[in-house]
Amino acid sequence: MAAQALVSSSLTSSVESARHLLGARPAAPSRKASFVVRAASTPPVKQGSDRQLWFASKQSLTYLDGSLPGDFGFDPLGLSDPEGTGGFIEPRWLAYGEIINGRFAMLGAVGSIAPEILGKAGLIPPETALPWFRTGVIPPAGTYNYWADNYTLFVLEMALMGFAEHRRFQDWAKPGFGKDEKSMKDLKLKEVKNGRLAMLAIVGYFIQALVTGVGPYQNLLDHLADPVNNNILTNLKFH
């Protein structure tokens, strides 16, 4: 065994000496090459320095740089300020939540007024053409008469909403709109603006219901019929 080890050591030393004399590189341990593929991240396109600002402060402009759609530097409470008392939520998460709430508000603004309009046009039965604030007080076995029972409608609604939520969490490779960077930027800004407008509309629906006791479409008809006596000033009377 000792002789075998001595011979092996001598052969190894001879090979290394020969490689050194011939100018060859020393033998390196074989290693498999590893490749790491990383997706190229495209930085967000910032709005120009001449972007429109809404009551922006010097502090808010230090972290609201216009990289998010609909960013006008408006942050009076400092919720996105990483240096102040706010900053407890990441700004992109706040922007994402605003978009989701805006989308639901856009659907809600249309869905709240649609039964009134369809009822006035005679396209749906009168018992279903109710103001939005009255539909929630009807028990499950109420006066509604749809094409299916309430349990079937509930399961169907859960399935449709589940599919929508599943799609919302997916990262779509081809959204279908915004063929270039500029058009995608414009569409994102329009979505944020329409969502904010819809959220204000929902708040207006609540105030109208509390003050007038009728739906928003009926408020519009009353105002068009008699603008002098049916307007915001005549309705907001606090006795």
Sequence ranges of the binding site: 80, 98, 103, 190-191, 194, 196, 208, 223
Sequence ranges of the binding site for chlorophyll b: 103
Using CA atoms, how far apart are residues 73 and 65, in angstroms rounded to an integer? 8
Cβ density class 194-204: b for 16+ within 10 Å, e for less: ebeebbebbee
Using CA atoms, how far apart are residues 30 and 19, in angstroms rounded to an integer? 17
Read off the tokens for 59: 């502090």
For the chain, the C-alpha Rg in angstroms (whole number) is 33
Largest CA distance in the chain: 117
Q: Find all residues with CB under 8 Å of 106, minimum gap 6, and list them.
A: 194, 195, 198
User: With left for phi above 0 and alpha for psi between -120 and 50, is residue 78 left, alpha or beta?
Assistant: left
Give me the amino acid identity at 188. K
Sequence ranges of the binding site for chlorophyll a: 80, 98, 190-191, 194, 196, 208, 223
